[in-house]
């Protein structure tokens, strides 16, 4: 089993391999319009837009999604960029999907995203998360 599949299982929170095809379908339907069909994000995603908000970041190796713990990724996807995932008053175009996607569907999307990361990123993420202090 590849590291990406193992990571996908961990993100899924289940013992069975996640349904990556389902995750891709859901990503295509709910996420690709902003984060890109190839997870590439919006152009100049680090530069603020005229409205002060940041463009949607990539979810591929070039972005920072893989830097975040699973619980944070799940929380941002479910609730949006609100506290505790962003500072109070932070303005973002990232909606919460609690009313649109079930928890299992969110996990499937996150597993799909993780399945696209390179072996190098998966290794770096594993090491980084292992070295984070426990809360």
Does this model's pTM top 0.95? My answer is no
Other Cβ atoms closer than 10 A to 80:
17
What's the pLDDT at 17? Answer: 79
Q: Is the pLDDT of residue 120 over 70?
A: yes
CA distance 14 to 64: 24
Residues of the chain with pLDDT > 70: what percent?
Answer: 87
Give 3-41+55-130's CATH code, choosing from 3.50.50.60, 1.10.340.30, 1.10.760.10, 1.20.120.550. Answer: 1.10.760.10
Q: Is the pLDDT of residue 110 over 90?
A: yes
Confidence band of 92 (pLDDT split at 50, 70, 90): very high
Note the residue count of the chain.
135
Q: Is the pLDDT of residue 26 over 80?
A: yes
Q: Is the pLDDT of residue 14 over 60?
A: no
3-state secondary structure (DSSP) of residue 33 = helix
Query: pLDDT tens, 2-13?
Result: 544 444 444 445
CA distance 134 to 14: 22
Contact (Cβ atoms closer than 8 angstroms) between residue 5 and residue 94 = no
Contact (Cβ atoms closer than 8 angstroms) between residue 110 and residue 77 = yes
Q: Is the pLDDT of residue 15 over 80?
A: no
């Amino acid at each position: 089993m590849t590291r990406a599949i193992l990571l996908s299982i961990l993100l899924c929170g289940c013992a069975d391999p996640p349904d990556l095809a389902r995750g891709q379908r859901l990503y295509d339907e709910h996420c690709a319009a902003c984060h890109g069909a190839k997870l590439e994000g919006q152009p100049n995603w680090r530069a603020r837009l005229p409205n002060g908000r940041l463009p949607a970041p990539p979810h591929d190796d070039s972005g920072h999604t893989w830097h975040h713990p699973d619980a944070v990724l799940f929380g941002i996807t479910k609730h949006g960029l609100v506290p505790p995932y962003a500072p109070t008053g932070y303005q973002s175009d990232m909606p919460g999907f609690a009313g649109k996607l079930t928890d299992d569907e969110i996990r499937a999307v996150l597993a799909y995203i993780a399945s696209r990361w390179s072996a190098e990123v998966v290794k770096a993420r594993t090491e980084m998360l292992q070295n984070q202090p426990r809360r």
